[in-house]
Amino acid sequence: MSQAAEGEIVHFDNVGLRYGTDREVLSDLSFTLYPGSFYFLTGASGAGKTSLLKLLYLALRPSRGMVRMFGADAITLPREQMPALRRRIGVVFQDFRLVQHLSAFDNVALPLRVAGVPERDIEKPVADMLEWVGLTDRIAARPATLSGGEQQRVAIARAVIGRPEILVADEPTGNVDPDMAIKLLRLFEALNRLGTTVVVATHDVHLLKKVPESLIMRLDKGRLSDPTGALRYPPRRSAVPAGDRP
């Protein structure tokens, strides 16, 4: 078994995943993610990107191998400890998955309410987060009245309201126009500069050049390649501009 790197936040060792008795959809995945890193996960449709992300946000357990998250063995972790681990991970889905009968404010507040945060401690951080994503004027709007880009920004705000240590985004720009895709990417960059590890799955090769310090993990038929040293080296650090703080 490979030696985990110091300061890791996620470590996969020889991980494989299969559904039922079919062949493996992911094979021999070994990599380390570091705090404060920005990764693009790319590959053709059907390469296994969504399956790998589900392993990262603990929606699936691998068929073989070892997964360590925040220093804990995520495979053998007792069921009652899993919710606390998941709260350290934010997830942004391509199809938004907003609660349709709730306002933008209440969608973003939902994770805090589920975690038992007192109502008096919810209003300001949720309002601040919606301001950060540029939706102060849409705070009372329900998802059906929001554009695709607005819904995705609500989804991002909901994913990060709990200040996760990792943000996992599955094709977050797939349902928006190119200008909005860049705006969403800038939000991920700002969050990354605050110290959050960001993993963005995308098939859009043009996005890969928009974050110069990002590292690229490329999936091909369920196996990873390493065009930028993403699997071997910790990221370079950068200062946190005051204007990036939500």
Q: Whole-angstrom Cα distance, residue 146 to residue 104?
A: 9
- Does 95 map to a domain? yes
Domain CATH number, residue 212: 3.40.50.300
- Does 52 map to a domain? yes
- Nearest Cα residue to 71 out of 8, 118, 132: 8
Secondary structure in 3-state letters for 183-214: HHHHHHHHHHHCCCEEEEEECCHHHHHCCCCC
Q: Whole-angstrom Cα distance, residue 201 to residue 92?
A: 10
**What was the pLDDT predicted at 180?**
85
- Does 27 map to a domain? no
**What was the pLDDT predicted at 94?**
85
* Contact of 190 with 245, CB cutoff 8 Å: no
- Does 108 map to a domain? yes
Secondary structure in 3-state letters for the chain: CCCCCCCCCEEEEEEEEECCCCCEEEEEEEEEECCCCEEEEECCCCCCHHHHHHHHCCCCCCCEEEEEECCEECCCCCHHHHHHHHCCEEEECCCCCCCCCCCHHHHHHHHHHHCCCCHHHCHHHHHHHHHHCCCHHHCCCCHHHCCHHHHHHHHHHHHHCCCCCEEEEECCCCCCCHHHHHHHHHHHHHHHHCCCEEEEEECCHHHHHCCCCCEEEEEECCEEECCCCCCCCCCCCCCCCHHHCC
Q: Whole-angstrom Cα distance, residue 101 to residue 107?
A: 9
Q: Whole-angstrom Cα distance, residue 13 to residue 128?
A: 39
Q: Which residue in the block uniquely carries the two structure tokens 């985990």?
A: 4
Residue range of the domain that includes 185? 36-58+81-235
β-strands 197-202, 38-42 pairing = parallel
Per-residue tens of pLDDT for the chain, all 246 residues: 333 445 789 999 999 999 988 899 999 999 999 999 999 999 988 889 999 999 999 999 999 999 999 999 999 999 899 988 999 999 999 889 999 999 999 999 999 999 899 999 999 999 999 999 999 999 999 999 999 999 999 999 999 999 999 999 999 988 888 888 898 899 999 999 989 999 999 988 888 888 888 889 999 989 998 777 777 666 555 444 444 545
**What was the pLDDT predicted at 57?**
95
Number of domains in the chain: 1
* Contact of 60 with 221, CB cutoff 8 Å: no
- Does 69 map to a domain? no
**What was the pLDDT predicted at 4?**
40
Q: Whole-angstrom Cα distance, residue 74 to residue 83?
A: 11
Q: Whole-angstrom Cα distance, residue 67 to residue 13?
A: 7
* Contact of 154 with 96, CB cutoff 8 Å: yes
- Does 241 map to a domain? no
Q: Which residue in the block uniquely carries the two structure tokens 């690229």?
A: 216
Q: Whole-angstrom Cα distance, residue 86 to residue 158?
A: 14
**What was the pLDDT predicted at 3?**
37
**What was the pLDDT predicted at 235?**
59
Q: Whole-angstrom Cα distance, residue 153 to residue 147?
A: 10
Q: What is the pTM of this model?
A: 0.88
- Does 54 map to a domain? yes
- Does 10 map to a domain? no
